[in-house]
A and B are shown apart, each in its own frame.
Chain A
C-alpha cells in the first residue's frame, strides 16, 4: 500500500523539477539579481572560523557595563540564570540534571557573538553595536574563566577562543547514531 501511495508524490516532484529546467532553458528568470555587497545587510551569520565577524572590539570590563544594563534582568547578575538561561558554569555529567551553559557546553565562541547579535536582547534584537556585542561576549567568556581580564575580543582573536567543550559533539549527519 505504501509503495503505491508514494508514486504520485514522486511523479509530481519529477514533473515540477522538469518544469524548472524548462523555464531555465527558456532563459526566463523570476528572481531579481542582486550584487553580493547589496545582500550584506542581511548576511549576518558567522562561521566557526570567524568569517563574517564585523569590525570592532571589546573587553570584559566594557562588557560588564553592557551586561548589567541589557542582560542581567533575564540572565542573573553574573550569568547565573533566572528567569532565563544560565550562561556560566554548569556540568554535563553526574547524578544531577546537566547544566548546559556557554562555558560548559557551547563548542564555538562564534555562536555567542552570532546569537547575541541576532537575537538579544529579547525586547530589542539587533540593537547592540558590534563593539557592545564583542564586549558582552568577552564578559560572558571571562565569567566562565575562558579568557582573561585583559583579553580584547575582535574579529582576529574571536575564533581562537578555546571553548572547553569544543570536542564534545558527535555529528549524526551523514552518519547514523
Chain B
C-alpha cells in the first residue's frame, strides 16, 4: 500500500472517480500530493484571494495562563459540544442522551459524550458495596467484589455500542429535519477494559444444561436481558474501564456487560447478576421492546447484532457549505457482525459510487472512520454512504428495509413513528445555497 502511495504521488491531473465531483481516495494516502494536484488543476477556488491580517500576540501568548486542573475539561469555547437530553428534569419516563457526531472526529467517543438510554436516572453506586453474583446452572455460585475482579487477567477491546432504536426517525414516512446527533446519536464507541465473562465462568464452572444467561443491573428497575451462552464464551466482557478510566456513572459504573456488536440494551449497565439458564426468561426488553413488527403482524425477536451501517457526519443536516470547492466527506461505518470491508460514497443519489478511504485501524465491531475527497461544483447533490462488512453484508436502501417491516400508511400528527434496527443508507441533500437537509432518495 505504501508503495502504491508513492507511485501515485505527483500524478496529475486529479480525476473524478464518480459523479458530482468525488475524487480519488488514494490521493489521501499521498498527503500533500492531493493539494498539489488540486491546485494544479484549479480545483481550489479564488476565495483564498484576500491576504491574511498581520500577526500579533494575543493576551494568552503574553501571560502564564490558567492553573492546570486535576481533571481536564474541554475548552470553554467548546461548550456546545454536549449530548442532547430527552428528559432533563427526570420525569417518570426513560432518559436518552445523544452523541454529537457532527461535532466530533475520529472514532472514539469521549466518556462524557457516550450515548445513554436509561429507564430512570443513573444509580449512584458505591463501588465498595457493589457485588456481581454469578449463579444458576453453574458448579459453584459465587459473588465477586470489584477487588476480586481485578485479580483476573484483563482484556481491552474497542467496541461500538448502538441502541436498537438508533436512527428510528428514518421510519417516518416523511424525512425528519434534524441533525445527525438527533438522527444517529444513539451509537458511540469506546475502549472497554475488563475481564472476559468466559474467564469468570471457568471459575464457577458451567452446567452443560446452560444454554443462555440472564444479565441484570443494579439500577432501580434492575433491567435484565437473556443472552445466548455462546456469546459469553465468545467475546463478552465484564467491563470495568471506559477509555482508560473507570466506567462513567451513566454508562454503568462500576461495571457493565459488554457484548460486542449486540443491541445496546443487552450490554447491561450497573451489572450485578448473571444467572445461567436453559432458556430465555422473556424479559420486558425482549418481548414488549426490541422486537420488530413485520407486515404480517408477526414480530422478530432476539435480533441481536446491529447490522452493517454507515452515515456521513461531515457534511450533515444543519450544516451550511462555504461555497464550491474542495471538501472532505467523512463519516462512520460499523457492523455488529465484524470488520468493515469497504464504504462507498455517492454524490449523485446513488447513480455512481466510489470507495472511500478507511482510516486505520479497521477493527471488528468498532466504529470505522471513512473519508472521501470531494470537489463540490455548487450544484444540487445528494450524498450517500453504503457500507459492506467483511462477511459481505451490504447496507440496504431505506426502501428495501422499510418494505420488510411493518410500516403504517397514515400517522396522526405528533405521533412518533418508532422502530428498531434501522441500518439503511441515509441521504443528505445539498442545495445551491449550501444547505444540507435529510432526504429520502
Chain A interface (Cβ within 8 Å of chain B)?
1-2, 5-6, 9, 12-13, 15-17, 19-21, 23-24, 29-36, 39, 42-48, 74, 83-84, 92-98, 100, 102, 105-108, 110-111, 114-115, 118-120, 122-123, 125-126, 168-174, 177
Query: Chain A at the B interface: mostly helix, strand, loop or mixed?
Result: loop
B101 interface residue (CB < 8 Å to A): no
B235, B273, B279, B288: the one contacting A105 at CB < 8 Å is B288
Contacts of A42 in B (CB 8 A): 133, 216, 272-273
Q: Is the CB of B221 within 8 A of A173?
A: no
Q: Is the CB of A95 within 8 A of B408?
A: yes
B120, B203, B272, B390: the one contacting A30 at CB < 8 Å is B203
Q: Is the CB of B364 within 8 A of A32?
A: no
Q: Which residue of B lies closest to A41 (CB)?
A: B133
Kindly name the residue among B151, B196, B282 whose own CB sees the greatest number of chain A CB atoms within 10 A.
B282
B69 interface residue (CB < 8 Å to A): no
Q: Is the CB of B361 within 8 A of A5?
A: yes
- Give, as a whole number of angstroms, the nearest-CB distance from A28 to chain B: 8
B82 interface residue (CB < 8 Å to A): no
The 5 tightest CB contacts between A and B, nearest first, are: A31-B142, A119-B221, A20-B199, A2-B339, A173-B302
Q: Mark B359-394, 1 if CB is under 8 A from A, else 0.
A: 011111000000000000000000000000010000
Q: Is the CB of A21 within 8 A of B202?
A: yes
Chain B interface (Cβ within 8 Å of chain A)?
92-93, 119-120, 133-135, 140-145, 148-149, 151-157, 196, 198-200, 202-204, 214, 216, 220-224, 228, 235, 272-273, 275, 277, 279, 281-284, 287-288, 291, 293-304, 338-341, 358, 360-364, 390, 406, 408-412, 415, 417
Q: Which residue of B lies closest to A2 (CB)?
A: B339
Q: Is the CB of B341 within 8 A of A17?
A: no
Given that A6-B339, A9-B364 are known contacts, is A119 also in contact with B302, CB under 8 Å in the complex?
A: no
Contacts of A74 in B (CB 8 A): 92
Q: Is the CB of A16 within 8 A of B417?
A: no
Q: Is the CB of A29 within 8 A of B203?
A: yes
Given that A47-B281, A95-B410 are known contacts, is A13 also in contact with B235, CB under 8 Å in the complex?
A: yes
Q: Is the CB of A31 within 8 A of B135?
A: no
Contacts of B300 in A (CB 8 A): 169-170, 172, 177
Given that A33-B140, A83-B93, A174-B228 are known contacts, is A39 also in contact with B135, CB under 8 Å in the complex?
A: yes
Q: Which residue of B lies closest to A116 (CB)?
A: B284
Contacts of B135 in A (CB 8 A): 34, 36, 39, 43
Query: Chain B at the A interface: mostly helix, strand, loop or mixed?
Result: loop
Contacts of A5 in B (CB 8 A): 339, 360-364
A145 and B120 CA atoms in complex are apart in Å by 31
Q: Is the CB of A34 within 8 A of B299?
A: no
Q: Is the CB of B120 within 8 A of A118?
A: no
Contacts of A115 in B (CB 8 A): 283-284, 288
- Give, as a whole number of angstroms, the nearest-CB distance from B256 to chain A: 17
Contacts of A125 in B (CB 8 A): 220-222
A173 and B304 CA atoms in complex are apart in Å by 8
- Give, as a whole number of angstroms, the nearest-CB distance from A110 to chain B: 7
Contacts of B156 in A (CB 8 A): 12
A107 and B272 CA atoms in complex are apart in Å by 27
Q: Is the CB of B364 within 8 A of A6?
A: yes
Q: Which residue of A lies closest to B234 (CB)?
A: A13
Contacts of A108 in B (CB 8 A): 282, 287
Q: Which residue of A lies closest to B299 (CB)?
A: A169
Contacts of A43 in B (CB 8 A): 135, 273, 275
Q: Is the CB of A169 within 8 A of B202?
A: no
Q: Is the CB of B408 within 8 A of A96?
A: yes
Would you give 17 A-B contacts (Cβ < 8 Å), ordered by A? A2-B338, A9-B364, A16-B153, A16-B196, A30-B148, A34-B135, A45-B216, A48-B281, A105-B299, A107-B282, A111-B283, A114-B284, A119-B221, A170-B298, A172-B303, A172-B304, A174-B228
Q: Which residue of A lies closest to B410 (CB)?
A: A95
Q: Is the CB of A2 within 8 A of B340?
A: yes
